[in-house]
């Protein structure tokens, strides 16, 4: 939604106010989410909201955190550069910016369907498959599309890549919480998940 909002608002009211309006939309949804959220468990009396670096001494958690770091590092690069890649490949600028919305549309299914399948075939197994599929989509659709002399073929390949890569990268984001939850106690989940994404933020 936000790429389309920016595309419409920037020519009309400028970049600064477009950013402010998107911020207002996010604030509204965050307020609504905070009002409606309910905790399933009572908070522990000695609970602390801090990064648990000692958890990295556990090999399973350390490898999971490192894997999440690599997934975030790898999957965000194509999302950042697909628009400029499309423009340089001869795709009209207006449509090139809409590719981000196409990414997000594919990501909607990618955040739901793999989670459903992961309950049957294993969270880490599905995470591995969807991450591997991202590599396949990059090598099979994105990179070869730049060598096409046919602009229409290039456009179709980039659209297919945006949908499929959005699906694969979306599942990587959605499966991270359940993978972390699988290898720690419920009481430690907040600290472990925060620690994992504190490291991933450097990607």
Radius of gyration of the chain (CA): 20
Return the closest-CA partner of residue 194 out of 48, 78, 90. Answer: 48
pLDDT at position 125, please? Answer: 93
The single-letter DSSP state of residue 86 is H
Find out whether 78 and 137 touch, Cβ atoms under 8 Å: no
The single-letter DSSP state of residue 53 is G
Q: What percent of the chain has pLDDT over 90?
A: 28
Residue 178, classified by CB atoms within 10 Å of its CB into exposed (0-12), middle (13-18) or buried (19+), is middle
Question: In order of start, what are the domains of the chain with their CATH numbers?
Answer: 1-38 (no CATH), 49-200 (1.20.1250.20)
Cα–Cα distance measured from residue 121 to residue 200, given in angstroms and rounded to the nearest whole number: 25
Over residues 101-140, the pLDDT tens digits come to 888 888 888 888 888 888 889 999 999 999 999 999 989 8
Over residues 29-79, the pLDDT tens digits come to 999 999 998 877 676 666 666 787 888 899 999 999 999 999 888 888 888
Q: How many residues appear in the chain?
A: 203
- Predicted confidence band of residue 203 (pLDDT cuts 50, 70, 90): low
């Amino acid at each position: 939604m936000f790429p389309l909002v920016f595309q419409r608002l920037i020519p009309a009211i400028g970049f600064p106010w477009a950013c402010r309006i998107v911020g207002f939309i996010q604030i509204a949804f965050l307020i609504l989410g905070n009002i409606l959220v309910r905790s399933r468990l009572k908070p522990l009396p000695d609970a602390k909201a801090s990064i648990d670096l000692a958890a990295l001494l556990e090999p399973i958690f350390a490898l999971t955190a490192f894997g999440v770091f690599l997934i975030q590092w790898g999957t965000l690069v194509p999302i950042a550069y697909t628009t400029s890649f499309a423009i340089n490949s001869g795709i009209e600028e207006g449509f090139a910016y809409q590719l981000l919305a196409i990414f997000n549309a594919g990501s909607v299914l990618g955040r739901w369907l793999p989670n459903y399948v992961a309950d049957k075939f294993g969270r880490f197994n599905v995470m591995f498959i969807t991450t591997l599929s991202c590599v396949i989509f990059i090598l099979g659709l994105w990179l070869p599309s730049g060598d096409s002399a046919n602009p229409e073929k290039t456009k179709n390949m980039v659209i297919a890549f945006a949908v499929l890569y959005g699906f694969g990268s979306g599942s990587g984001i959605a499966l991270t919480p359940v993978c972390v939850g699988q290898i720690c106690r419920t009481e430690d989940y907040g600290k472990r998940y925060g620690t994992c994404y504190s490291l991933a933020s450097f990607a």
